[in-house]
Amino acid sequence: MSLLVTGSIGIDTVETPHGRREDVIGGSAVYFSYAASFFTPVRLVGVVGDDCPRSLLKVFEGRDVDTRGLEIRTGSKTFRWHGSYVQDMNDAVTVEVDLNVLAERAPKIPQGFLDAKYVFLANTHPVLQQEMLASLDSPRLVVADTMNLWIQTEHKELCKLLGKIHGLVLNDGEVRLLTGEKNLITAARKVLKLGPRFVVIKKGEHGSLMCSDRGEFVLPAFPAEQVVDPTGAGDSFAGGMMGYLATQGTFSPSTLKRALAFGTVVASFTIADFSLAGLQAATRDQIDDRWHEFKQAMNF
C-alpha cells in the first residue's frame, strides 16, 4: 500500500570513533524512505536548496521511491547538520546545524500523493505536521515523530497533533520530557491518553518499547558489534516498521510486534556504515534472514 513520508533531507557531516564523512546525504525522510522501500513503494515529500549536489539525490535511483514530492527550491540552501559521536556513540553532539530551507515554507504534497493510506510525519514543526495531515484525503494509519524543541516550545500544537494521529514514535528522552514521567511505561500510557493508539519509544542501543491499549512489548536492539555511525538509526527503524505495516493492512498487536522487529533489524544495517552506505549494501533477503535470526534469538 502507498506509504507517504514527509521529513527532512539534509547534507550531513558526521564524526564517529570510526572516522569522519563530510557532505554526505542525510535527513529523516531520506533514511525513512530508503528503509521503507525494502518493503513497499514510498512517496517522498521534502525540500532541498539548489545547492544540493544532484549526486546526493541519486541515492533513490533504482529504489521504489517516488520523488515527485522532492522540491529543489531555487535560491534556498539545503538543511545541514554536523554531528559528532566521538564521545558517545549513543548520543550525538550537534557541532553545527543550519536549518536553511527547513525554516522556510513546507514543500507541497503533489496531487497524486494525496490518497496515501499510510503516512509518516517525520519530525518537524507540529503545525506543519498538522497542515500536511489535513491536506491528505483519508489516511488509514498516521504515525508521527517529534523532538525536544517542539515538546518545549510548541507543547499545545503538539498535543493537538497527538489528537489526530494513530501512532507516535519518539525516543526515551523525548517521551520523558513530554510527559514528565521517568518510568517509560507510565510515560507511554500518558501519551496514549493524548490520542495515539500506540506509542513506540526508541532507546537506541537498548532497543525499543511499544505501548498500546492492548499492552506493552519490549524488544532489545539487534546485538551489533559493528557500530560505525548511528545517524539515521531511528528513522530507519521507523521506515522498516512503517514499510512492513503498509504491506499488512492490519494493526493487530502481533502485526505491530513484527513491524517493530523489522524496524529493529533494518536499523542494525544502517548503523554498520556511514550515512546510507549500510542500507545501500543491504538486501531484502538479508533483512528477512536477520529478522528470522532475531526472532529465533528472542525465543527461549
- Give how many residues touch its own copies by CB under 8 A: 31
Asked if 252 interacts with its own copies (CB under 8 A), we say no
Asked if 299 interacts with its own copies (CB under 8 A), we say yes
Report the b/e string of 89-100 with b at 16+ CB within 10 A: beebeeeeeeeb
Question: Does residue 74 contact residue 104 with C-beta atoms inside 8 Å?
Answer: no
* CB of residue 177 to its own copies, shortest distance in Å: 16
Asked if 183 interacts with its own copies (CB under 8 A), we say yes
Asked if 288 interacts with its own copies (CB under 8 A), we say no
Q: Give the integer Cα–Cα distance in Å for 161 and 19.
A: 39
- From residue 65, how far is each of 68, 145, 189 by CA, in Å? 9, 20, 35
Asked if 190 interacts with its own copies (CB under 8 A), we say no
Q: Give the integer Cα–Cα distance in Å for 212 and 271.
A: 28
Asked if 247 interacts with its own copies (CB under 8 A), we say no
Asked if 192 interacts with its own copies (CB under 8 A), we say no
Report the 10 Å Cβ neighbour count for 287. 22
Cβ neighbours of residue 196 closer than 8 Å, sequence gap 6 or more? 162, 165, 166, 167, 168
Asked if 218 interacts with its own copies (CB under 8 A), we say yes
Nearest-CA neighbor of 18 among 280, 192, 272?
Answer: 272
Asked if 272 interacts with its own copies (CB under 8 A), we say no
* CB of residue 187 to its own copies, shortest distance in Å: 10
Nearer to its own copies, 81 or 217 (CB): 217
Piece of 98-106, 148-156, 275-283, 290-298 that binds its own copies (CB under 8 A): 290-298
Strands 42-49 and 3-6, how do they pair?
parallel
Helix (H, G, I), strand (E, B) or coil at 247: coil
Piece of 145-153, 161-169, 200-208, 231-239 that binds its own copies (CB under 8 A): 200-208
Residue type for 288, please?
A: D
Piece of 31-39, 100-108, 130-138, 179-187 that binds its own copies (CB under 8 A): 179-187
* Residues of this chain that bind its own copies (CB under 8 A): 89, 182-183, 185-186, 189, 203, 206-207, 209, 215-221, 223-225, 227, 254, 257-258, 260-261, 295, 297-300
